[in-house]
Every structure is written in C-alpha cells, then in structure tokens.
Chains A and B, each alone.
Chain A
Amino acid sequence: MSKYLKLALVTAITTGSLSAPVLAAGLGVGRAALPEEIAAWDKDIAPDGTGLPVGSGSVEYGEEIFSETCASCHGEFAEGVDNWPTLSGGFGTLDREDPVKTVGSYWPYLSTTYDYIRRSMPFGGAQTLSDDDVYAMVAYILYSNDLVDDDFVLSNENFLEVEMPNAGGFIVDDRVVTEYPHFTSETACYEDCKDTVEITMRAAVLDVTPIEDTPEPVIEATQEAAVEAAPVVETPTTVTAAAFDADLAAKGEKVFKKCKACHQVGEGAKNRVGPMLNGVVGASVAHVDGFKYSNDLLAAKDAGRVWDEALISEFLAKPKSVFKKTKMSFAGLKKDSEIAAVIEYLKSVSQ
C-alpha cells in the first residue's frame, strides 16, 4: 500500500492540483448526459443517506411482500433457505471460525441494504420493486433481526436514526503495518529452516473436490448440448405429438435464461421461486398442484382459464397487466420475437 499511496500522491500532485495538460485537453468525443438519463442510472445510496428517494414502508407491509417475493430463497424470517443467503441473525458469531454475516450481524450501513435490494433483488426480477416497497422490505429485514419493533415504519426521514449493531466493526486495511514488515525477503530462510515436516491436514480427509464424471443437473447438460450442437433441441424427455419449430425453440432456450432464476424445466424440474413449467403451454392457469400461487392466478384457474399462446404472450410481455397481483416479479419480455421463441421452447419441453 505504502508504495502505491506515494505513487498516487505524485500522480495527484503532477496532474491534479493545477488543471494539468493531460486533464485539460479534450477530444470532443461523446455527448452531454441528459438529467433524465443520469437520474435513471444514478441510484446509488451513500452511508450518509445521499441518494435516498422520498418514501416509506412499514414492517407489517414488508412482511407481506417479503413472504411473497423473497421468502422462497431467503426464508420467511430472512433466515435463508438451503444455500441461499441468510439475511438475519448471526449476532455474536463474528469472532468464531464460521461467522454468520447478515444484514443484522455484519452490515455496517443500512444504506447498503436499501441500495442493494432496490438495484438487484429479487434475483431474476431486479428493479421491479417500487421505492416504498423497498422501504418496507428493509423495515422487515430490520425487524427480523430484532432491530426494530413490529409497528415500525421506515422512511427517508428516519433512515439514519436506525443503529446498525456492527457499524463500528470495520477498520481500514492495515496490512502495511500488521503484515508487510513481517513478511520480508530479507528474512527468508534457505537452509536448515526446520528439523521435521509432518502432515497436519489432508484434503482427502474431507474431500469435497467435485467428481469428474458426476452427471451435471439435467437442465445444465441439455443447455450445453444445445449451445454446441446443431439447432436440434435435445430435450430430456421424448417429444410428444405437439409439433414445434426446433430452430425457434433453440432461440427460446436462450431467452429462457431470463427465467431460470425462478423456473425449472426438463426432467426432474422442481418448483423454485416460480412453479416448474413442464407442459405449461395449453395447461390450466396455476397448473402445478401444491405450488403457492397468488390469489389472482388461483381465481383464473377456478374460472377455467387456460395458458393458451395468446394468454402466455400477454403475460410474458407484462405480467402485472394480465394478473394485477401476480407473484411473478418479472418486468416482462420486450420483444415479441423473444416471447414467441420462449413459448416454442416451453412447448418443446413437455411433461
């Protein structure tokens, strides 16, 4: 670090202090950014609250929407499902060998939570939440960490009042003091450096190295095959009578990457955030028994509605325009060609 800092300082002095030639001469390439464009992309929120939008959300509402849009991966109480990230708990574990780092136990600033959720969550449906919904989600995550009461309402007004337990838990990189002086070439030994050498631990004992020929999950394998090979769509199951256009389906398989965070297809497909989609084209709405659909979809099922191509197309273009309260937090596919292709792909993976 020290060398870098010195170097950087020199740079700063030579180029920065006066409007140095390097920085002054423009090429006239590029165009001015419009205020609307900057506003659309400039979403980051700093620890002092710079960038926070006006708005608010309650723990109570947050619990409801967290359960609908986040709990399938992060758990009802933000405790994390399987290998998905845990967002709550972990207090008092940071000095253990396996610390549990959560928003409550580890994150120094609340701004980070708002910033991250608004920008990147839910996984597979980023940037679909309203600013107020994000406040409610953050309030609920605070509540699930026992940091606020159940009647708490978070807003841009009281945002900075929330105390984060680990706010004082970080120090700036100190390797230049704590490590570099001890690890120097001068002290490196070449002869008679130690008397004995014994093995103290072997990887084989808890070998977790992936096995060379473990069958990859079926979906993965199918996709790789399809990418490399000719436009023949290799589906894990036999294709039934329903004819489909293999070229288009291959294109649709690529589009389906946008759905994969939430949906599985093919042999052994399971429900994830969204229901598994085998055989969905032509099936009744809410076609998987046992999946927790929104009331809107369940009502449509009761009304006898069917996922024909017209309905799916409309739904995929803008999910909430068809079913106002659908749990599918996905902005929609912009291009008709993508919609047609993905439907063809869904047809190709039957059963």
Chain B
Amino acid sequence: MTDKRIKTKQTHPPSRRAFLRGAAATGAGLAASAASAQTAPDPLITEVQDWASGTGDGVDATPYGLPIEFESDVIRRNVAWLTADTISSINFTPIHALDGTITPQGCAFERHHSGAIELSKSDYRLMIHGLVDTPLVFTYADLERFPRINKTFFLECAANTGMEWAGAQLNGAQFTHGMIHNMEYSGVSLRSLLSEAGLSAAGDFKDKWVYVEGADASSNGRSIPLEKALDDVMIAFKANGEALRKEHGYPVRLVVPGWEGNMWVKWLRRIEITDQAIESREETSKYTDTLEDGTARKWTWVMDAKSVVTSPSPQAPITHGKGPLVITGLAWSGRGAITGVDVTIDGGKTWQKARLAAPGQPMALTRFYLDIDWDGSEMYLQSRAHDDTGYVQPTKTQLREVRGLNSVYHNNCIQTWWVKKNGEAENVEVS
C-alpha cells in the first residue's frame, strides 16, 4: 500500500464480465415481465421443496458459525501486484455487499507489516513507562479490571483510495474504498491506564507525546500527542461483542478515533510518554503526503469526511432493470459526525439529499439511502458527505489543485460510478 502504481494488464476478467452481462440481461428480462402476470405457476411455490419436508442441521452442527455457502463471495480480497509479499500487505472489506454500518470482523480488512501474529492472553504484557510517575506492567487480566467502555468507531487506512490519485484504476468499491471497517469496541480508556501510572512526571501535557508500539516484528511504532491520548483513545479487547480477531490485533489493540488506521497499533505492548515525536518509519517514510513541489506534509492524522456509493457499483450491478432502485452507501468523518449526504445521478449537475439510516455518530460510519425510480438511462453516480464542522467532501480535481498528483494517502475525494443502461457500473473520472 505504500506506493501507488499503475500497471496495464492485457485482458479483462472473462468470467466476472460474463457473469455481470448475464445478470444484467436476466434483470432486463425480469423487468419487462414484472408488470405482466405470471403465466405458469412457480414450482418453488407449487411443489413441496426438500427443505420444507426434511430437516435441517442440529444445534451441534456449528458451534461457531460462518456465513451460509451462498454468501461465499462476500470475502476480503487482496490485489496481488500491490506488494511484494502478502505478509506485509493489505486486503479489502467487501463493502459493496454489506449493509448497515457494523463490519463483521471476519470480512473486515487487514493490513499487517510483518504478518498477523498469534499472541495469547496469557503471554500478553502491556508496559507503560517514560515520563510517568511509576512505570507499570499490566497483564491482560489487569486490563479487564479498569472501568469498561463501549464505543463504535470507523478505522480507515490512510491509503484507502490512494491508488486512485493518478486516475481511476480499480473497478469496485471494495478495492477503491474497502480499507475501512467500523466496529463496536469494548475496552478501557487509555486515560485511565495513564492515570494509574501517574502523569505528574510529564509536566505540561501540551508538548508531550505517547509512543505506542506492537508486539509483532514490525512494531509499527507511532507517536500520538498526549492530548489526543487523554481525549478519546481506547485500549480495546473486544470488537462487535467478541474477542478481537488475530488479524485485528488479538488480544489488545489501540483505538484512535477519527485518525488514520496505521496509528491503531495492534498487539499493543508498549506505551511510552516522551517529550518529542519519535519520527518512526511509519510516520516519515510512510503515511506522509508529498505535495506538488516535493515537500511533504507530516502528522496528517485526521481522516477527513468521505463517502462512497456501495451499491450500485462495479461489483454490485443493477440486475432488475428500470423501476424502483435503492442507491446506498457509507459516509464518515474523522472530525465529527456526518450531518448529511448528497447524491447525484448526473455527474454533479444536480444533487439531492440522501436519507440517513440513523443520525450520524462521531467518527463512525453512517449508512445512507436514496430511493429512486430508475428510468434505465446511464447514470454518473456520486455521493458527497457533510460533517458537523461544516466541511463538505471535495472532488478529486479540488484535492489535486491543492496537493498535486504525487500524493498517495488521505484521498477523500468524491467517487464516480458510470452506471450503464444494462446496469453494469464502472469506475470513471468525470469533468
């Protein structure tokens, strides 16, 4: 994920294309007959089906369940050419196929710098030291004794949509916007752990930092201003009600609301209060934003407001022909709550306000819907998010005017899907 790369590839996926074409054709057929009456009775209704006669699985069949086989394509996918090795790489959440706002852990994207390690609760240790009154070591069981909190936040990788800076590149919301997930975390506030160690040694908080690192070989060390650490940073051990998955940092990860995913250190093992930023590899070589003149922005932690239509989209074409159509997507802001989402179907000539499934929550995903009567003509579909700071999501052109073309990270531009008459969609840029 560290570098954007445009490579040309000869052929198009034959089978997926074929599938989409087939699906779209069927859709059109159905639409045509939808108004007319069914001529022959539907055997699924008139005949007794196996499942209505025999029995299903017993309660001991699946002590811990996976999705039913029919959903086997709703999975994380990676892009092989992005990185030299899958051990230091990334995969993408299938956001095109999900609804609501909570991302199931099993398909929530992963990014590791040295692979997902296996660290048991009994082998887990967390150290707090540096400018504290008493350096401390906690076991996992210790952490469970601090006052517990539950909060839902999105985590977005700074490189999400990064491959799209130079131009429309990947065909699917999963690939363009899938480095994101949204989970309900249970854990403790970092503030309560720091207060246990005592912060009088830190003096003035304003110019102090916490350096956080993981137990894996990459360590993925990051410097976070002490003020943010005391504000809303969490030490999480459960997500969506159950233990964190290995790939998300079992048994303990950091949650840094609204800030880039790389700072959410997994397998968290050490917290050091320092009087300067460490300027680790992850905050210099990576996750900094090169501007047009070659200088780079650093400490660009916050993830600005962003949204994307998840369906229809290239992996989720319209299969039912014209008529009622549900346009849906996700919006989020690292600076607060989403207050509104606008959708255009004509590439931005006119915009209408989408319906939010629920009022926006700070630094968490918001689901939006726009229910339209599709006339079957081409659409240039876009969405644009507003947050409670009064910020509106910019276009790619607007961002490029400020940052130029040599950037990678923090691309929160408006995305366009070109929906064709047959219901297929493609990732495009428009004037």
Give me the interface of A with B, judged by CB distance under 8 Å: 1, 3-4, 7-9, 11-12, 15-16, 19, 22-27, 29-33, 37-38, 41-42, 44-48, 50, 73, 82-85, 94-99, 101, 103, 106-109, 111-112, 115-116, 119-120, 123-124, 126-127, 169-175, 178-180, 182-204, 206-213, 220, 257, 260-261
Neighbouring B residues of A12 by C-beta, 8 Å: 205-206, 227, 230
Bound complex: CA A171 to CA B293 (Å):
12
* Secondary structure of the A contact surface, majority rule: loop
Q: Are B428 and A8 in contact (CB under 8 A)?
A: no
Q: Are A188 and B342 in contact (CB under 8 A)?
A: yes
Bound complex: CA A270 to CA B274 (Å):
45
Q: Provided the pairs A108-B279, A211-B16 are in contact, do residues A83 and B390 lie with their beta carbons within 8 angstroms? A: no
The 8 A CB mask of B196-217 against A (1 = contact, 0 = none) is 1011100011100001010001
Q: Are B87 and A197 in contact (CB under 8 A)?
A: no
Task: Please pick, from A3, A15, A42, the residue contacting B129 in the complex, using a CB distance under 8 A.
Answer: A42
Q: How far is the CB of B407 from chain A (nearest CB, A)?
A: 9
Bound complex: CA A299 to CA B268 (Å):
44
Bound complex: CA A257 to CA B199 (Å):
41
Neighbouring A residues of B127 by C-beta, 8 Å: 33, 37-38, 41
Q: How far is the CB of A213 from chain B (nearest CB, A)?
A: 5
Closest 10 CB pairs of A and B: A197-B347, A95-B294, A94-B294, A8-B227, A83-B84, A203-B427, A126-B217, A211-B13, A33-B135, A23-B195
The 8 A CB mask of B332-374 against A (1 = contact, 0 = none) is 0001100110100011111110000000000000000000000
Q: Are A184 and B392 in contact (CB under 8 A)?
A: yes
Bound complex: CA A15 to CA B418 (Å):
52
Bound complex: CA A180 to CA B350 (Å):
23
Neighbouring A residues of B406 by C-beta, 8 Å: 94-99
Bound complex: CA A147 to CA B166 (Å):
32
Q: How far is the CB of A27 from chain B (nearest CB, A)?
A: 6
The 8 A CB mask of B272-302 against A (1 = contact, 0 = none) is 1010111111001100101011111111111
Q: Are A111 and B335 in contact (CB under 8 A)?
A: no
Q: Are A107 and B171 in contact (CB under 8 A)?
A: no
Q: How far is the CB of B343 from chain A (nearest CB, A)?
A: 11
Q: Which of B28-36, B48-56, B75-83, B152-160 is the contact stretch?
A: B75-83
Interface membership of B86, Cβ < 8 A: yes
Q: Provided the pairs A27-B196, A44-B272, A112-B280 are in contact, do residues A15 and B228 lie with their beta carbons within 8 angstroms? A: no
Q: Provided the pairs A23-B199, A26-B196, A190-B351 are in contact, do residues A185 and B390 lie with their beta carbons within 8 angstroms? A: yes
Q: Are A45 and B168 in contact (CB under 8 A)?
A: no
Bound complex: CA A309 to CA B10 (Å):
47
Q: Are A120 and B217 in contact (CB under 8 A)?
A: yes
Q: Are A82 and B84 in contact (CB under 8 A)?
A: yes
Q: Are B114 and A120 in contact (CB under 8 A)?
A: yes
Q: Are A73 and B12 in contact (CB under 8 A)?
A: no
Interface membership of B380, Cβ < 8 A: yes
Task: Please pick, from A11, A85, A96, A172, the residue contacting B297 in the complex, using a CB distance under 8 A.
Answer: A172
Bound complex: CA A250 to CA B166 (Å):
44
Neighbouring B residues of A7 by C-beta, 8 Å: 231
Q: How far is the CB of B160 from chain A (nearest CB, A)?
A: 16
Neighbouring A residues of B8 by C-beta, 8 Å: 206, 208
Known A101-B290, A106-B284; 14 more pairs at CB < 8 Å:
A9-B227, A106-B296, A108-B284, A115-B280, A115-B281, A174-B297, A179-B304, A185-B390, A193-B349, A196-B431, A201-B429, A208-B7, A210-B77, A213-B15
Q: Are A203 and B297 in contact (CB under 8 A)?
A: no
Q: Are A4 and B302 in contact (CB under 8 A)?
A: yes
Interface size class on chain B is: 35 or more
Q: Which of B95-103, B138-146, B247-255 is the contact stretch?
A: B138-146
Bound complex: CA A198 to CA B380 (Å):
9
Q: What are 9 A-B residue pairs whose CB atoms fall within 8 Å in the complex?
A: A23-B191, A38-B127, A38-B129, A44-B280, A109-B279, A199-B380, A202-B428, A208-B79, A208-B81
Interface membership of B405, Cβ < 8 A: yes
Bound complex: CA A99 to CA B290 (Å):
8
Neighbouring B residues of A85 by C-beta, 8 Å: 2
Q: Are A42 and B270 in contact (CB under 8 A)?
A: yes
Q: How far is the CB of A60 from chain B (nearest CB, A)?
A: 26
Q: How far is the CB of B83 from chain A (nearest CB, A)?
A: 6
The 8 A CB mask of B387-431 against A (1 = contact, 0 = none) is 001111110001100100110000000000010000000111111
Q: Are B169 and A203 in contact (CB under 8 A)?
A: yes
Q: Provided the pairs A4-B302, A29-B196 are in contact, do residues A46 and B279 lie with their beta carbons within 8 angstroms? A: yes
Task: Please pick, from B81, B213, B392, B418, the residue contacting A199 in the complex, using a CB distance under 8 A.
Answer: B418
Neighbouring A residues of B386 by C-beta, 8 Å: 185, 188
Q: Please name the residue on chain B nearest to A209 by beta carbon.
A: B171
Q: Are B166 and A190 in contact (CB under 8 A)?
A: no
Q: Provided the pairs A120-B218, A179-B402, A202-B426 are in contact, do residues A257 and B115 lie with their beta carbons within 8 angstroms? A: yes
Q: How far is the CB of B337 from chain A (nearest CB, A)?
A: 12
Q: Please name the residue on chain A nearest to B77 by beta carbon.
A: A210
Bound complex: CA A66 to CA B37 (Å):
75
Task: Please pick, from A42, A172, A210, the residue contacting B299 in the complex, using a CB distance under 8 A.
Answer: A172
Q: With a 10 A CB-CB cut-off, give which of B175, B227, B284 has the most chain A CB atoms.
A: B284
Q: Are A29 and B138 in contact (CB under 8 A)?
A: yes
Interface membership of B162, Cβ < 8 A: no
Bound complex: CA A197 to CA B218 (Å):
46
Q: How far is the CB of B22 from chain A (nearest CB, A)?
A: 14
Q: Are A123 and B114 in contact (CB under 8 A)?
A: yes
Q: Are B278 and A45 in contact (CB under 8 A)?
A: yes
Q: Are A44 and B278 in contact (CB under 8 A)?
A: yes
Q: Provided the pairs A202-B168, A210-B78 are in contact, do residues A169 and B196 lie with their beta carbons within 8 angstroms? A: no
Interface membership of B172, Cβ < 8 A: yes
Neighbouring A residues of B200 by C-beta, 8 Å: 19
Q: How far is the CB of A332 from chain B (nearest CB, A)?
A: 15
Interface membership of B167, Cβ < 8 A: yes
Q: Provided the pairs A44-B272, A191-B350 are in contact, do residues A26 and B198 lie with their beta carbons within 8 angstroms? A: yes
Neighbouring A residues of B195 by C-beta, 8 Å: 22-26
Bound complex: CA A199 to CA B381 (Å):
12
Q: Please name the residue on chain A nearest to B220 by beta carbon.
A: A120
Interface membership of B225, Cβ < 8 A: yes
Interface membership of B194, Cβ < 8 A: yes
Q: Please name the residue on chain A nearest to B137 by beta carbon.
A: A33
The 8 A CB mask of B6-50 against A (1 = contact, 0 = none) is 111100110110000000000000000000000000000000000
Q: Are B284 and A4 in contact (CB under 8 A)?
A: no
